[in-house]
Amino acid sequence: MRRAIALSTVSVIIVLIAACKPSAGSACTENAKTCDTPTSRMACVNNKYVPETCKGEGGCKETPSGTTCDSAKGDVGDTCASANNFACSTDGKSKLRCEDGHFAFVQRCSKDGCTVGDTATAHCNDPYGKVGDDCKYNKNASERANGACNEDFKSELRCKDGKMSLTNKCRGEAGCVPLTTGPWCDRSMAEPGDNCDANTPEFSVGCLASKEKILTCVGGKLTREVRCGGEGKCYVRQYGQDGFSHYQAVCDQSLAEVGEDCIKDGGLACQTDLTARLVCSNGKFAVDKPCNMKVAHKKDEPDRSGCMVHAPDGSPFGCEDEKPKK
């Protein structure tokens, strides 16, 4: 009889403990006092219990004042309690974000992978993506922030219709550079048909691989080829702005021929044989003024060609126009 009473008492205790165990959605004022498992607990969010995954090194621990949860690591689909908080995947190869109560994939991490700092914030070293990766477009962020470098780091992706899609080739020497603000694509080198942006100088032109010509933007594509007849040919100018590097294709058109395509209306050039100074007008080079050839009259005086890309006084495209002496 006494054994039956003892067993009955144990059963009642078990039932009472089970009845007191927090359940998802029930009201609360603080986190659960006990862990559900070594890697999970119930967290109190907005006065409601929500399940939380604790796969970080600290796991879920019970203390005199309650439970602690190391949520710095998890896997896609795991439950989470802090919206928009980031975590590393348990294999350290990707970065996750807490969305709608579950961890969602954000980006892949190369080199040292995803790491967790002293502040328990996940950091993705050299983030990248693959075509077809799941993504969530953030309309409040910039277009670049909704993108990633492709796995080859020579092209970039953008989030479109919930999937990562290829957008631009990064043919320049720097390739695709992963930054905290999003990928930066070196598009200073290009091929005919590449995408372009006429409103952004850096992305409106690109040098051909031969560097003899530059491609300019027409209808969103780099299709118009312009010869770069100067000594510099087509080259890349690198400069810093807004805290990161830019790569601008530049065409040296200091030497040209009448009727050739030109880039900037009003720009000057010397005719290849130096007999005239040219001006860019309506996309074509035309004669601005003829330049006479000046022959030295003194032993130590050098001959000067008629059109000078750099005149002796420092001015560009000086034109020797004085009449030859008889």
Residue 321: pLDDT above 80?
A: no
Give the pLDDT mean for 192-200. 95
Give the pLDDT mean for 201-229. 96
Q: Which residue has the higher pLDDT, 118 or 271?
A: 271
Range with the lowest mean pLDDT among 44-53, 224-233, 259-268, 303-312?
303-312
CB distance 209 to 231 below 8 Å? no
Residue 303's pLDDT band, with cuts at 50, 70 and 90, is: low
Range with the lowest mean pLDDT among 216-220, 229-233, 238-242?
238-242
Q: What is the pLDDT of residues 146-176, one digit of tens each?
A: 999 999 999 999 999 999 999 999 999 999 9
Give the pLDDT mean for 88-113. 92
Residues with Cβ within 8 Å of 163's Cβ and at least 6 positions away in sequence, in order, are 131, 132, 133, 134, 135
Q: Which residue has the higher pLDDT, 19 or 171?
A: 171
Residue 28: pLDDT above 60?
A: yes
State the chain's mean pLDDT as an integer: 88
Type of residue numbered 321: D
Q: What is the pLDDT of residue 72?
A: 94
Range with the lowest mean pLDDT among 11-20, 38-47, 73-82?
11-20
Residue 21: pLDDT above 80?
A: no
Q: What is the pLDDT of residue 294?
A: 67
- Report percent pLDDT > 90 for the chain: 71
Q: What is the pLDDT of residues 125-145, one digit of tens each?
A: 889 999 999 998 888 888 888
Q: Which residue has the higher pLDDT, 117 or 235?
A: 235
Q: What is the pLDDT of residue 121?
A: 81
Q: Give the integer Cα–Cα distance in Å for 264 and 283.
A: 7
Among 18-32, 207-221, 303-317, top mean pLDDT goes to 207-221
Residue 12's pLDDT band, with cuts at 50, 70 and 90, is: very low
Tokens (6 digits) for 266: 């009003």
Residue 11's pLDDT band, with cuts at 50, 70 and 90, is: very low
Among 200-209, 242-251, 309-318, top mean pLDDT goes to 200-209
Residue 324: pLDDT above 70?
A: no
State the pTM of this model: 0.76
Residue 59: pLDDT above 80?
A: yes
Type of residue numbered 290: P
